[in-house]
Amino acid sequence: MKKRVAIVTGGIGGLGTEICRQLALAGRQVIASDLPARADRLDAFRTELADLGDAIRFEPADVSDYNSCADLITRVEAEHGSVDILVNAAGITRDTSLRKMSPQQWHELMRVNLDGVFNMCRNVVEGMSARSFGRIVNLSSVNGQTGQFGQTNYSAAKAGVHGFGMALARETARKGITVNTVSPGYCDTALVAAVPEDIRSQIIADIPVGRLGSPADIARAVRFLSSDDAGYITGANLPVNGGYFMSF
């Protein structure tokens, strides 16, 4: 049987890299997609995942550009066959309070974090429907559930990602496609490492589990939701936040 083909957008990012690793370990042919990257960044990604060989390939695309996403799917399907799994992990922040936020900071973020999810899903859903199988996992954030100071744009987009996912889950459930959201809490990635030490310590003190999430914590949740076995879970949000935010 052909290996299932998985595309991970934001695939060379802090969480994306580990998601690629986990999906490759699960036996998938993984396509890490990201903006055309600087050579040193791509080299670091390739070195980190060198042990997995050809199970992970890189294909550039800009998720904010519909045609770029359409081209990506065409290229991947020509080389590897149909896309079975899509993980939307590309994301950016443009933090500032609303009173200071420019329309550009709002729109740039929406184009990547929300339009990007539409652009990718729109280009894979028809094929998945025709083949009666698909797994879509969208990365949201605890800050989409709680709101965060300085993140009206990010919180709106991340809440939107789950609303989008629930609607798409209903539209595709009879076609063997599941659409789920993973909402990470604060993770041990470059983004959080850049937070000043005293604020980071306070964040950790507020996490019941007592530590930041690791990329592997998030990636294992994505791996499960993208597995064939997870076919009865759709339209769900899986918080992976160490108990930082609990809800029913």
Q: At 35, phi and psi to the nearest 5? A: -60, 150
DSSP state string for 191-248? HHHTS-HHHHHHHHHT-TTSSPBPHHHHHHHHHHHTSGGGTT--S-EEEESTTSS---
Would you say 2 or 196 has its CB closer to ligand NAD?
196
DSSP state string for 74-129? HHHHHHH----EEEE---------GGG--HHHHHHHHHHHTHHHHHHHHHHHHHHH
Among 5, 6, 7, 16, binds ligand NAD (CB under 6 A): 16
Would you say 11 or 133 has its CB closer to ligand NAD?
11
Kindly state the helix (H) or strand (E) to which residue 185 belongs, with its residue range. none
Kindly state the helix (H) or strand (E) to which residue 35 belongs, with its residue range. none
Count of residues that interact with ligand NAD, criterion CB under 6 A: 26
Under the criterion CB under 6 A, does residue 25 sit at the interface with ligand NAD?
Answer: no
- Cα atoms in the Cβ-side hemisphere of radius 13 Å centred on 39: 0
Residues 186-205 that bind ligand NAD (CB under 6 A): 186-187, 189-192
Under the criterion CB under 6 A, does residue 92 sit at the interface with ligand NAD?
Answer: yes
Which residue type sits at 248? F
Closest contact distance (angstroms) between CB of 34 and ligand NAD is: 5
Closest contact distance (angstroms) between CB of 179 and ligand NAD is: 16
Q: CA 150 → CA 93, 101, 112, 217, distances in Å?
A: 10, 9, 18, 26
Taking CB under 6 A as the binding criterion, the range among 13-21, 172-180, 197-205, 224-232 that sits at the site for ligand NAD is 13-21
Closest contact distance (angstroms) between CB of 58 and ligand NAD is: 11
**Going residue by residue from 219 to 248, which x/- string records binding to ligand NAD, judged by CB under 6 A?**
------------------------------
Under the criterion CB under 6 A, does residue 177 sit at the interface with ligand NAD?
Answer: no
Would you call 154 a catalytic residue per the annotation? yes
Under the criterion CB under 6 A, does residue 34 sit at the interface with ligand NAD?
Answer: yes
Contact 83, 5 (CB under 8 A): yes
Would you say 59 or 77 has its CB closer to ligand NAD?
59
- Cα atoms in the Cβ-side hemisphere of radius 13 Å centred on 164: 24
Residues 110-169 that bind ligand NAD (CB under 6 A): 112, 139, 141
What is the rounded (10 degree) CA torsion for 154, 204, 17, 123? -30
Would you say 147 or 231 has its CB closer to ligand NAD?
147
> Would you name the residues annotated as active-site residues?
154
Binding site for ligand NAD (CB under 6 A): 9-10, 12-16, 34-35, 62-64, 89-92, 112, 139, 141, 184, 186-187, 189-192
